[in-house]
Chains A and B, each alone.
Chain A
Amino acid sequence: ISVRCSAFPWFGMDIGGTLVKLVYFEPKDITAEEEQEEVENLKSIRRYLTSNTAYGKTGIRDVHLELQDLTLCGRTGNLHFIRFPTHDLPAFLQMGRNKHFSSLHTTLCATGGGAYKFESDFRTMADLQLHKLDELDCLIRGVLYIDSVVSGGPSECYYFENPTDPDRCIQKPYTLENPYPLLLVNIGSGVSILAVYSESNYKRVTGTSLGGGTFLGLCCLLTGCSTFEEALEMASQGESTRVDKLVRDIYGGDYERFGLPGWAVASSFGNMMSKEKRESVSKEDLARATLVTITNNIGSITRMCALNENIERVVFVGNFLRVNTLSMKLLAYAMDYWSKGQLKALFLQHEGYFGAVGALLELLHPS
């Protein structure tokens, strides 16, 4: 197999609306002979990527996600996960140019909308030819691959036990054997919902424009924050019930005629119709309400798709869920409560990197 493998370096890239996700395979089994033959440029890239955890002002390597001693294409090494904002792509290209990346004659496999949008920039700014790949193909390939190779350490796939009881709600590993059929919900800037029947048989059921970009966009406008981390931090300190109008705010309790519990949100931001209440809420409350609104909406669309497609297992991925336990627990709760326990919400450790992994796999095993 190794014969068919591409020369180093091995990259996979996913250029989304908000973030660029990059996976890099660092070979650890380099022979002395190879070491000698390795050109200087390649060495310097390897060293630069593996010896830092931050690149420039905004690039970050998610060290905790690194997969070590991975065998890929007959080679053993570590898989690194790196991300930076899409608006910093020009700086990245400049770096590629400075480091003479193009001299390596490698194919750069890229997916996500940016692979199309920035294709000519790659060519003109860094003299790089992109091999463009469909993002959903890559996503599914990546999910299935990572789930199959991760062993040891925290389980790749997990769920929340007792999602409707906050005190007893705990994260538990889940074995994704016999994964099909599967509803795969990818929450990036926007949301795509896929029904997956096998590695090659899947369809995009629907999508929604109310996604991670909406959460961050609205938070920026409402609170003046500027990063996802900031927005999440505020949300964790706020109270959405001051912003939202609940069923009990209208009916004094449960709306029994229709089986609606009093705590359910009747109108997101509904309390903000009143001037007094607008003046009494904090930025944290607003951030929390935004998070809850977007998350619950994704939950209800997902639930409807699961019913329409007759699928009981739902895997949520995408960078909206990164360090976002609040949303994950909300999704787990929503899936369980509204389906009366029928639906199970599953999550994956490498939430946002599957597209990039899929692109890397395409480089090594062209489908």
Chain B
Amino acid sequence: MAECVRLDSSTSSHTMDKSITLPPDEIFRNLENAKRFAIDIGGSLTKLAYYSTVQHKVAKVRSFDHATKVNRELRLYEISVQEEVTARLHFIKFENAYIETCLDFIKDHLVNTDTKVIKATGGGAHKFKELIERKLGLKVDKEDEMTCLIKGCNFVLRNIPHEAFVYAKHADSEFRFQTTQPDIFPYLLVNIGSGVSIVKVESEDKFERIGGSSIGGGTFWGLGALLTKTKRFDELLQLASKGQHTSVDMLVKDIYGGSYGSLGLTGDLIASSFGKSATADKEFSKEDMAKSLLHMISNDIGQLACLYAKLHNLSRVYFGGFFIRGHPVTMHTITYSINFFTKGEVQALFLRHEGYLGAIGAFLKGAEEDNPNQYSWGENYAGSSGLMSVSPDMNPMQRARSGTFDMLEMDRLERQLVNLPLLQDPSSYIPDTMDLTEDALAREYWLYCFEEALDGVVKRAVASQPDMPEAAQRAEKFRQKYRHKLQTLRQQPFAYGSLTVRSLLDTREHCLNEFNFPDPYSKIKQKENDMALKYYQKAVKSLEELSWEQRQFALVRVELMAFISCEHPERPWLVDSYDQWFERLKGPPHKCALFFVDNSGVDIILGVMPFVRELLSRGTEVVLASNSGPALNDVTNGELQILTERIAAMDPVIQAGLREDRLMLVQSGSSSPCLDLSRLDKVLAMVVRERQTDLVIIEGMGRAIHTNYYAMLSCESLKMAVIKNSWLADRLGGKLFSVVFKYEVPAGKPSQHSAALSPL
């Protein structure tokens, strides 16, 4: 991975872009290819869903016919930019007031569709049925609300990492995102609309409404309106956030004078909601009554949710519905209640895309013949607005945001993604080393870095398409979009789940793709690959001349050297378990090594390949995993296929490996400079299992430092990288170009040389 970080730069822009109301053509994107509409009309918000096919450019590599001698000396492969069609799901959320305008817009832009029906759900669906049918000429087909909700919930839990979060009002970061669970079932969904429904979900198709309560959002709204003469739900919440419930509620201390010690009930606990208004003959403020009401309802729902969770032995409880929908006040009171009633045994979980569940579900119902659930989907950071807080207390910019349009886009991934079977504990695996949502200093630094690096990325993007005159214009649009994303993240680090270096990099890739820069590094990679290939044989030969001991060290050195041009740091390195690795190599060969590769050029050809060669010679099978799509200068699977063939032609060891199927190239399923071991190509997982892989090698900053530095595997692992960023080096207690060589053996699975292994 090439980090483009300049440390010596002068100014950076901290100004906010306030132009947040988007023109409709940027909201209803790809309408011309749209098909399969679904709509979820709630009490105040409408959510529209549709499916489109997106045509975008992809960089493909193709091997030259090596019989044609002319090309052979010049280029190993050619790069062509091709059009590829992928599937995308669009979800747009807007206030009901816009519904007619939106329907008109859709009607005008819907060119080519054979769609006849629109799936509809939500309480308002019948109210707008006639309008929709008239405007769009589509037949409205109603779907059960709860079924849609559950379907949508399953979909986001399965496909969006960091979908669920715990809310902690007073923590450094209010939102603590949960890692994706390998199995999302069973769970409890507590949907707080005007009433409350409590649904137990056991599998994709099996769910049951196990209970509910009539005391819900409608009670807060209705009773609140009566008590305070305040009409709007939002205003009631705002009143509540300013009130003191203790002047209205009878607390334990109002009865006991203090706590009720023998039962462990503290004095501040509410003994009787509104108890004081029954005895005290005085006026109560609107704020205080609203607050008391909010507590009463939240506590009651929390208590019932806990009772149901206990009865059905469920520990994952998600809360949704308009009462919750992004309101920090209600998330806080519900969280408080759950913590109180379960003493921390159950956590209240909320969902980033909670507002979209119904629309997603309705859409999926209508798209069953396309089998959307057999694919994996990924959130497109470029096209999605992210989580916006609508807290009345938050800054006005966010208030304005909630009043406009919100979008979610999901791309259908070509490959189905699953966990790496070698993760020690998939449910606790966190790919990212640093959570920038929680670490404010680190966040500042990395946001600054990415902003500083933006000029360079734009230049490279333009340079990658020299024969396209409008590239500069597109690159400028990319710059604006990505800069806007960075500014949003500065304000709301939690917008797309946990903010990490990986998410910043991925967002950049998504934005580049958005403006048709599928592979800005393609030309550079091509040049570097051609160059490095010329030295392959020489490099292998000089390694062959070394003694076995010397060679083992040289291989590691060369592998690490490939990353830097300066002098190699002396041992001991920053993290240095080379001696343990070396001892291990004296033992029996590994059965099969899974090698996650990184950069093109010198790294893959002169660093990785000799290492692979040595492993093959030892009798270890090797699975080389490379990116499915381009990201920075990382070698892609397509490129690696050609490179390996070429090397095989020069090197009998590699050739034999390929021929005997002891060397295998697979794609990772990823297009990121980082690595999420919980979202890998299903084929890769299958190969890993079949070959009884007992060694995982991860190299490079993106995959071994920014991610997976702390990943625990159930087999031996080797993480290698040079830290090319002085801030990060400093964080890890070293200096620029420090070396990390981390060899780990899982506890309980000692190798033959376990005595020599000490934990890092």
Contacts and interface: CB of A to CB of B under 8 A. Distances in A.
Interface in A197-240: 204, 206, 208-214, 216-222, 226
A221 B195 contact: no
B255 A189 contact: yes
A43 interface: no
Contacts of B278: 18, 189, 213, 216-217, 219-220
Kindly name the residue among B146, B214, B271, B276 whose own CB sees the greatest number of chain A CB atoms within 10 A.
B214
A113 B270 contact: no
Contacts of A116: 256-258
A222 B228 CA distance: 10
Nearest to A113: B255
Interface in B242-278: 248-250, 252, 254-258, 260, 262-263, 270-278
Interface stretch (B152-160, B219-227, B555-563, B720-728): B219-227
B225 A272 contact: yes
Given A189-B275, A206-B303, A245-B194, 13 more contacts: A18-B279, A85-B279, A112-B255, A114-B256, A209-B296, A217-B278, A218-B274, A221-B274, A257-B144, A267-B194, A267-B218, A269-B226, A272-B222
Given A190-B250, A270-B194, A209 B284 contact: no
Nearest to A281: B226
B100 to A, nearest CB: 22
A117 interface: yes
- Range of interface residues on A (Cβ < 8 Å): 35 or more
B255 A17 contact: yes
B194 A273 contact: yes
A244 to B, nearest CB: 7
A321 B407 CA distance: 52
A272 B194 contact: no
The 4 closest A-B CB pairs, nearest first, are A272-B222, A217-B274, A213-B272, A113-B255
Interface stretch (B306-314, B418-426, B584-592): B306-314
Interface stretch (A22-30, A33-41, A169-177, A293-301): A293-301
Given A217-B276, A221-B289, A245 B218 contact: yes
Interface string A290-322: 000100110011001101100000000000000
27 contacts: A17-B272, A112-B255, A114-B256, A118-B257, A189-B255, A190-B270, A206-B303, A209-B270, A210-B215, A210-B273, A211-B272, A213-B271, A214-B275, A220-B278, A221-B277, A267-B193, A267-B195, A267-B217, A267-B218, A268-B214, A268-B222, A270-B218, A270-B222, A273-B225, A275-B231, A286-B226, A293-B214
A217 B225 contact: no
A63 interface: no
A293 B215 contact: yes
B209 A258 contact: yes
Contact of A269 (B222, B231, B274, B310): B222
A300 B262 CA distance: 26
B271 A304 contact: no
B255 A16 contact: yes
B216 interface: yes
A78 B276 CA distance: 35
A43 to B, nearest CB: 34
Interface of A: 16-18, 85-87, 112-114, 116-119, 134, 136, 188-190, 204, 206, 208-214, 216-222, 226, 243-245, 250, 257-258, 260, 264-273, 275, 278, 286, 293, 296-297, 300-301, 304-305, 307-308
A62 to B, nearest CB: 20
A212 B743 CA distance: 65
Contacts of A112: 255
Contacts of B537: none
A267 B222 contact: yes
Contacts of A301: 303-304, 307
Interface in B189-234: 193-195, 197, 209, 211, 213-219, 221-223, 225-227, 231
B182 interface: no
Contacts of B275: 17-18, 189-190, 209, 213-214, 217
A273 B311 contact: no
A318 to B, nearest CB: 12
Nearest to B256: A113
B308 A304 contact: yes
Given A134-B262, A304-B311, A213 B273 contact: yes
B236 to A, nearest CB: 10
A117 B250 CA distance: 14
B256 A308 contact: no
Contacts of A257: 144, 146-147
Nearest to B295: A209
A266 B194 contact: yes
A196 B271 CA distance: 21
A204 B263 contact: yes
A18 B123 CA distance: 42
Nearest to A249: B194
A338 B730 CA distance: 63
Contacts of B262: 134
A208 B296 CA distance: 9
Interface string B284-309: 10000100000010011001100110
B341 interface: yes
Given A278-B226, A301-B304, A304-B304, A213 B257 contact: no
Nearest to B222: A272
